[in-house]
Structure 1
Amino acid sequence: MNLQSILESADSPLGYLRSDKTHRHTNRAWDPKLIMPQLPYEFTDWEREQLAWRDTVALLDQSHHMQAVIISGRDAKTFLTYMACNNLTNAHPGRAFQIICASPDGYLVGDGILLQQDENTFAAVGPYLLNWLSYHAETLGFDVTATVDPRSPVYANGHGNRRPACRYQIQGPNAWALIEKLNGGSVADVPFFHLTEITVAGHRMEGLRHGMAGAPGLEIWGPWEARDEIRGTILEEGEEFGIVEVGAAAYVSSAVESGWVHTVLPAIYSGPELRGYREWMPSDEVEGLIRLTGSQERDCVSDYYRTPFDMGYGRLIHLDHEFIGRDALRARAGEAKLQKVTLAWDPDDTANLFREMLIRDGRNVKFLHLPTMSDKLDMQYFRVTANGKEVGTGHSSAYMAGERAMLTLSLLDESVRIGDEVLLHWGESGGGFGRYVTPATDIVPIRTTVSPAPYSRVAREEYRKI
């Protein structure tokens, strides 16, 4: 069954997206209840793991969940330039770029990281890019080949797996000291998103420079066969720096603190121009397992789409080259845009939500998982209002131990300012089709303070109610 046929089996694309997916047991590599394969929910406790990338040094194992699509061939760069809204003319081996892809009508399909491995080979990592790039590599007539490097099984059940490389991320204020200790000498602090090399346990590894919580760090990859030795050496040498392994719960919460909105519906579920794409895609890909959740209720699936401008990518969009969606984005360039912010929850309202969860005959509230909804393939869309007027949507939510705050990444109207107080409507509007209806809950308004993304605390005296 393909994505198009399973959408047609529901009353509408929106009915399917709102439906309960727990009956889908045909693909164990993409079980809808789990998203972090072969990684414990927590190694110690998630709050200690969250604090590590702020206070000491954190080790994040990316060996199993980060799948990629390898684009190779004579036309690789030309093809990717046609697929990307942003400018890739300066792409060259040894450097990574963000890649942003739009639908023909100018809505976001997905964004991620593009790494040029050699003159005619690129690796792209990011939600919804794998199928999008693979399909167009097959159908557009460019001299390219797309090869997917799949992630490990979520539910291994005794099945082995093998990947081209192991991958680890070393982050936190003590990260660079540990990296140089592992290397046996200094490592040049290359610019952001540039590549370097280090040696770990005698194994030469490539490293991508980026950072978390304002400190430089590396994402390193090397031989799969040596993964246990590499990981063991990092942990042993990292003891003096306070190294902590990060499990699935804390790992997923990092996106909220760092300001990466990854829970926006890819713009692929409607429109005749993408019917061929939906017919090409098997229904058990992640695009077919998404469940649209939250209090925001719309009549049309396209109302949940967002443009690259809405995501804050306007400065990266280059309209001077031909790419999918260019004409639509040019027409939308002057439209009102959303802004990416973080909503900091009011402590009293948050405590009252927990109180309802503990009362036998309390309100039927949507339960709040801590630190985050890290075990679901949910696309969360919560209504955000000010003075009774809807001003945007709340997306990923997480409790961050370092801030002692509950936070929600949001996309709000440009009229809303940092320091304003707005209401996040926490709850589930429900929906679905046939036997697969997601039950609705009561909707609970939570007072929140509009804060920057990436998050930084707004002083209490700066709060403004609107």
Structure 2
Amino acid sequence: MPATESVAEAIARVGSPVELLRNAQSRPTIFPVTPEFTNWRSEQLSWRTSVALLDQSHHMTDLFISGPDALRLLADTGVNSFANFAVDRAKQFIAVNHEGYLIGDAILFHLDEDSFDLVGWFMVLDWVQFIGETGDYDVTFTRDANSLMRAPGEDPALYRYEIQGPHALALMEKVTGAPIPPTKFFHMATFTIDGLQVRSLRHGMAGQPGFELFGPWAEGERVRDALIASGEEFGLVLVGSKAYSSANLESAWVPSPLPAIFTGEGSADYLRWLPANRAGSLAGSLVSDDIEDYYLTPYDLGYGRSVAFDHDFIGRSALEQHAKGPLRSKVTLVWNPEDVAAAQRSLYEPGVPAKYIDFPKARYGVYQVDRVLADGAEVGISHDAGYITGEQVFVSLASIDADHSEPGTEVVVVWGEDPVSTKPAVEPHRQVEIRATVYPAPYSSFARENYRKD
């Protein structure tokens, strides 16, 4: 770990985890790639109507884990089953703390015998590395940080591109010069593009077919040029960071829930190990002095189907108790357009306006946690919020009590902070209530049916 202030030291300096996170002076997370190649509205539509090329090379972190105990470490920290996790497969890896609360999730690639790549936000990667370094494991870690955290002038280890949309398969067959063999969801295959070996993960986004392509960074530009040249006849659209950052709203994935690392068994040692610049920032209308009020279980985010009690892992016994309920459900909240417009209109009216609502993504902290009310009572929390061009709706993903999770239920999202924090992205504003209607997650029936099938 770099020689810097630890999270434990930062908490001691300011007084509490909530104080540290709510007033963190880091900027909101950005994707360090071109914001828009055309405009984010058209780019959002491309993965529904043609084929999109998205560059994932810069905003995610890779943690390469190798050694004879690599799989045992992953099984000890992951709630997933690893019974049939062969080479050339991948899965959404989910970890919880000793008390069964969510640390986070990432995509785990089984690259080779005793060789894995855990890819995603740093929260769950840090946890796995800590357990591996402080436990009895014969493993080696190599971290390739995202481009915001990487040393200046240092290139990524891998390029990583997404090809998504109804024409993705046709594009892949043209650029490889051969039929694409059937590949199951979250299975990997190797292709040749412009004479280069390219590894591919079969997956989808918003229910559309897709491929994630990766290989050595030095070969990335050549692969990208070949994709662009072959994609012209299929209407290939280059997608910038604005549109890409909102894609999770359609697939109903919550990218950065607050990790349950600040309390519980082993947390003191972990917070002393963890650099303060990876603590994150907390935004939203939920205000509590108790950091545990922000914790989630995997069930709150719809991950129950991934939990496998077929092995022992950190937090298993506690998670078994959480599974007995009561449980919240992950839903989509469709915000009332009149209330959204009124909040935006307040910028042009006398007095203190509502918190600025950015498009297409309205998150203004790493962890967005807004209150959801029904008849004035708390019934859940709202996470990421933003606009979906293909549906012409402003939505948020939310975890709602079962009694209020039925589609058509009317709720209220409290938008804005009170008291107003000192985060750089937060201006003087007033809280407003925005009516919302519960819908399924994912919102699109096409996406729901295709994700369920996969």
> 1 CA distance for matches of 2:262 and 2:103?
10
2:451 aligns with: none
> 2 CA distance for matches of 1:154 and 1:75?
28
Q: Are the counterparts in 2 of residues 133 and 146 from structure 1 also a CA contact under 8 Å? A: no
- Give the Å deviation of 1:272: 5.8
> 1 CA distance for matches of 2:163 and 2:209?
9
- Give the Å deviation of 1:441: 3.3
Q: 1:327 to 1:272 in 2, by over 3 A?
A: closer
1:320 aligns with: 310
1:19 aligns with: 23
After TM superposition, the structure 1 stretch with the greater mean CA deviation from structure 2, 145-154 or 205-214, is 145-154
Q: Are the counterparts in 2 of residues 15 and 432 from structure 1 also a CA contact under 8 Å? A: no
Q: Are the counterparts in 2 of residues 309 and 338 from structure 1 also a CA contact under 8 Å? A: yes
> 2 CA distance for matches of 1:35 and 1:155?
14
> 2 CA distance for matches of 1:110 and 1:368?
26
Q: Deviations over 1:294-353 (max 9, x none)?
A: 111223001000011222222221223211111211222212111111111112111111
> 1 CA distance for matches of 2:410 and 2:226?
48
Of residues 282, 294, 297, the one that matches 2:275 is 282
1:463 aligns with: none
> 2 CA distance for matches of 1:316 and 1:155?
32
Q: Are the counterparts in 2 of residues 430 and 439 from structure 1 also a CA contact under 8 Å? A: no
Report whether the alignment pairs 1:137 with 2:132. yes
- Give the Å deviation of 1:67: 1.5
Gap regions ≥5 residues in structure 1: 23-31, 459-466
AA aligned opposite 2:384: S
1:412 aligns with: 400
Within a 5 Å distance, the mapping from 1:122-271 to structure 2 comes to 122-127=116-121, 128-153=123-148, 159-271=152-264
Of residues 3, 8, 17, the one that matches 1:4 is 8
Q: Are the counterparts in 1 of residues 416 and 429 from structure 2 also a CA contact under 8 Å? A: yes
Q: Are the counterparts in 2 of residues 18 and 430 from structure 1 also a CA contact under 8 Å? A: no
- Give the Å deviation of 1:439: 6.6
Report whether the alignment pairs 1:84 with 2:78. yes
Report whether the alignment pairs 1:102 with 2:90. no
> 1 CA distance for matches of 2:40 and 2:211?
22
The share of aligned pairs that are identical, in percent, is 41
Report whether the alignment pairs 1:397 with 2:385. yes
2:347 aligns with: 357
> 2 CA distance for matches of 1:425 and 1:306?
19
Q: Are the counterparts in 2 of residues 18 and 431 from structure 1 also a CA contact under 8 Å? A: no
- Give the Å deviation of 1:185: 1.4
> 2 CA distance for matches of 1:428 and 1:40?
30
- Give the Å deviation of 1:437: 12
Q: Are the counterparts in 2 of residues 430 and 441 from structure 1 also a CA contact under 8 Å? A: no
1:443 aligns with: 431
Q: 1:438 to 1:272 in 2, by over 3 A?
A: farther
Q: 1:457 to 1:421 in 2, by over 3 A?
A: farther
After TM superposition, the structure 1 stretch with the greater mean CA deviation from structure 2, 315-324 or 83-92, is 315-324
> 2 CA distance for matches of 1:65 and 1:406?
24
Q: Deviations over 1:77-113 (max 9, x none)?
A: 1111111112111111011012110111110001111
Q: Are the counterparts in 2 of residues 2 and 283 from structure 1 also a CA contact under 8 Å? A: yes
What is the number of residues matched between the two proteins?
440
- Give the Å deviation of 1:281: 1.2
> 1 CA distance for matches of 2:393 and 2:409?
17
Of residues 332, 337, 347, the one that matches 2:337 is 347
> 2 CA distance for matches of 1:69 and 1:20?
25
Q: 1:239 to 1:110 in 2, by over 3 A?
A: same
Q: 1:153 to 1:311 in 2, by over 3 A?
A: closer
Q: Are the counterparts in 1 of residues 164 and 205 from structure 2 also a CA contact under 8 Å? A: yes
- Give the Å deviation of 1:457: 7.2
> 2 CA distance for matches of 1:437 and 1:263?
17
Q: 1:370 to 1:155 in 2, by over 3 A?
A: farther
Q: 1:152 to 1:436 in 2, by over 3 A?
A: closer
Task: Tell me the TM-score normalised to structure 2 length.
Answer: 0.92
- Give the Å deviation of 1:68: 1.2
Q: 1:457 to 1:440 in 2, by over 3 A?
A: farther
Q: Deviations over 1:13-52 (max 9, x none)?
A: 1111111414xxxxxxxxx344212x01111111111010
Query: Secondary structure in 2 aligned to 1:407?
Result: strand
AA aligned opposite 1:12: S
Q: Deviations over 1:215-244 (max 9, x none)?
A: 211001123222222111211211111111
> 1 CA distance for matches of 2:24 and 2:109?
36
Q: 1:407 to 1:366 in 2, by over 3 A?
A: same
- Give the Å deviation of 1:118: 1.2
Query: Secondary structure in 2 aligned to 1:351?
Result: helix
> 1 CA distance for matches of 2:40 and 2:149?
20
Report whether the alignment pairs 1:299 with 2:289. yes
Q: 1:242 to 1:430 in 2, by over 3 A?
A: farther
Q: 1:9 to 1:440 in 2, by over 3 A?
A: farther
Query: Secondary structure in 2 aligned to 1:309?
Result: helix
2:356 aligns with: 367
Report whether the alignment pairs 1:116 with 2:110. yes
Q: Are the counterparts in 2 of residues 18 and 438 from structure 1 also a CA contact under 8 Å? A: no
- Give the Å deviation of 1:438: 6.4
> 2 CA distance for matches of 1:126 and 1:413?
28
After TM superposition, the structure 1 stretch with the greater mean CA deviation from structure 2, 126-135 or 396-405, is 126-135
| Dislocated runs of 4+, deviation >6 Å | 435-440
Q: 1:393 to 1:34 in 2, by over 3 A?
A: closer
